[in-house]
């Protein structure tokens, strides 16, 4: 009841096969959907990176994709602006894939290789209500009866 609080379980990084499968999945989804699912790779990169830059790049990628999509469908197929939109879309796909792989590989490299063993402070744990010296005074009996050993009850009539 008054012992040390158990430490939370250490963070275990995902298995190597899981990370590799996620990389293949997000890159393939971005390339095979012609950039329509590029937002998913950028979202994963922002979540894994945990920095404001990732979220800004995610929003920028989403806005750029919407802009290039509107540019592509707004003009005839033979117009130079459609060709520019397709070129921008292809560059965007390459940029999303490269950025996602760089962020994911960097995060995987910075994580520890195996599970981290928990560390505990050395020495006995202090009691939360201990006096400033850290030790309680010796136990003093509250009643005089506590100091005498138990004895057999004298025989006699029951009350």
pLDDT tens per residue across all 159 residues of the chain: 566 777 788 777 778 888 899 999 999 999 999 999 999 999 999 999 989 999 999 999 999 999 999 999 999 989 999 999 999 999 999 999 999 999 999 988 877 655 555 555 555 555 566 666 656 556 655 655 555 555 666 676 766
Residue 100 near residue 45 (C-beta atoms within 8 A)? yes
- Say how many C-beta atoms besides its own lie within 10 A of residue 45's C-beta: 23
Report d(CA 30, CA 28) in Å as an integer. 5
Tokens of 144: 């005089």
Q: What is the pTM of this model?
A: 0.63
Three-class SS state of 105: helix
Q: Which of 40, 12, 41 is nearest to 104 (CA)?
A: 41
Q: How many residues in total does the chain contain?
A: 159
């Amino acid at each position: 009841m008054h012992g040390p609080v158990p430490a939370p379980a250490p963070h275990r990084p995902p298995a190597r096969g899981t990370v590799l499968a996620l990389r293949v999945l997000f890159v393939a989804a971005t390339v095979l959907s012609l950039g329509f699912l590029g937002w998913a790779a950028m979202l994963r990169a922002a979540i894994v990176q945990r920095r404001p830059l990732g979220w800004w790049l995610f929003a920028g990628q989403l806005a750029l994709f919407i802009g290039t999509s509107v540019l592509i469908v707004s003009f005839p197929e033979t117009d130079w602006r459609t060709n520019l939109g397709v070129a921008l879309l292809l560059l965007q796909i390459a940029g999303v894939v490269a950025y996602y792989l760089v962020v994911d590989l960097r995060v995987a490299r910075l994580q520890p290789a195996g599970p981290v063993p928990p560390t505990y402070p050395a020495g006995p744990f202090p009691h939360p209500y201990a006096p400033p010296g850290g030790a309680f005074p010796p136990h003093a009996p509250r009643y005089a009866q506590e100091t005498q050993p138990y004895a057999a009850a004298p025989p006699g009539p029951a009350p």
